[in-house]
C-alpha cells in the first residue's frame, strides 16, 4: 500500500506541475490531456487514466 500511495502522490505532483506550466504559458486548457505523463507508464491503470485526469 505504501508504494501505491507514493506512486499516486508522485503522479499528482507531476501532473500539477505540468498543468501549472501550461497555464503559466497561457496555453489553451485543451492542451491539458496532452501533457507528458509517460514517466508513470508502469502504473497498472496508466492507459486508462493518462490524458483523462489532466
* pTM reported for the whole predicted model: 0.72
Number of domains the chain is built from: 1
Question: Could you tell me the residue range of the domain that residue 21 belongs to?
Answer: 2-49
The beta-strand segments (E) located in 8-51 are none
| Closest alpha carbon to 49 in 12, 21, 6 | 12
Q: Is residue 41 part of a domain?
A: yes
The segments of the chain whose pLDDT lies below 70 read 51-54
CB 54, CB 32: distance < 8 Å: yes
Q: Residue 37: what pLDDT?
A: 87
Q: Is residue 20 part of a domain?
A: yes
Q: Is residue 35 part of a domain?
A: yes
Amino acid at each position: 500500500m505504501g508504494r501505491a500511495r507514493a506512486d499516486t502522490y508522485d503522479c499528482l505532483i507531476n501532473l500539477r506541475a505540468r498543468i501549472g506550466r501550461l497555464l503559466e504559458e497561457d496555453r489553451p486548457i485543451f492542451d491539458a490531456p496532452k501533457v507528458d505523463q509517460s514517466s508513470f507508464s508502469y502504473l497498472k491503470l496508466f492507459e486508462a487514466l493518462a490524458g483523462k485526469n489532466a
